[in-house]
Chains A and B, each alone.
Chain A
């Protein structure tokens, strides 16, 4: 965790942090509903459904990394899977949005499960 002194030396732009976080969380809540529909169509039940969600959310994040973060951050000399150019912590990027979309996922999952197997 950076100290106060480091923030003074290398200041951070709060608007950019908000913009980036919003971009990622918008994407994740949108795709979560899509994954819910898919899980409903596939008829997944119990743990399989949650496993499906976690796998696909991680995949979305990896895709997002590959298309939005990687091209510029690799060019600027950062290592592979290093998101420090756009996000404050690695943790925030890779796991921050997982639980945000879970409610929407369960909503559409149960809805489509019920619709298709009525």
Chain B
């Protein structure tokens, strides 16, 4: 992951944790208040009356979700073309550059040029010259 995706996700998680804690505190406070009220008045009102979440917590949650999603999307791996000709063309043009993951290393399953087999061919061996060289070496011994 790049630093921008990491920092965005971290910011989102921070907001998210804060929203979660706030919501928990809110519900705990509501429950406590309802309990103390019912003990004061001894009325049979519902104890578990929880008013709906305050608007700011709801907004914070939604915003945090957006920010985290944004950060995660930025952190995903680069896609590769599925059509053979497009894919091979990209390798020919960009080489390893197009197949780096977000931390700048070449992906492990990068196979390299698919036409490598066609592009390099060992030359013919000059057997006569090698034989002559060997003969000279034997003579020199």
Q: Decide whether A and B are members of one complex.
A: yes
A46 CA to B20 CA, complexed, in Å: 20
A12-B83, A31-B68, A85-B82 are known; give 17 further A-B pairs, CB within 8 A: A12-B82, A13-B83, A15-B111, A24-B76, A27-B73, A30-B72, A35-B65, A41-B53, A42-B58, A43-B52, A43-B53, A56-B69, A60-B69, A60-B73, A67-B73, A68-B73, A85-B86
User: How many B residues touch A, CB cutoff 8 Å?
Assistant: 35
Query: What residues of chain B lie closer than 8 Å to A64, measured between beta carbons?
Result: 73, 76
| Interfacial residues, chain A to chain B (CB-CB below 8 A) | 10-13, 15-17, 19-20, 23-24, 26-27, 30-31, 34-35, 37-38, 41-43, 56, 59-60, 63-64, 67-69, 72, 76, 85-88, 112, 115-117
Asked whether B77 lies within 8 Å of A19 as measured between CB atoms, the reply is yes
Say yes or no: A67-B20 contact (C-beta < 8 A), given A34-B65, A38-B61, A56-B69: no
A34 CA to B65 CA, complexed, in Å: 7
Contact partner of B82 among A24, A60, A88, CB < 8 A? Answer: A88
Residue of B nearest to A66 (CB): B73
Q: Is B87's CB within 8 Å of the partner chain A?
A: yes
Residue of A nearest to B75 (CB): A27
Asked whether A26 lies within 8 Å of B82 as measured between CB atoms, the reply is no
Residue of B nearest to A67 (CB): B73
Contact partner of B27 among A27, A59, A76, A117, CB < 8 A? Answer: A117
Q: Taking each of B20, B109, B111, which has the highest tally of chain A beta carbons within 10 Å of its own beta carbon?
A: B20
Residue of A nearest to B88 (CB): A13
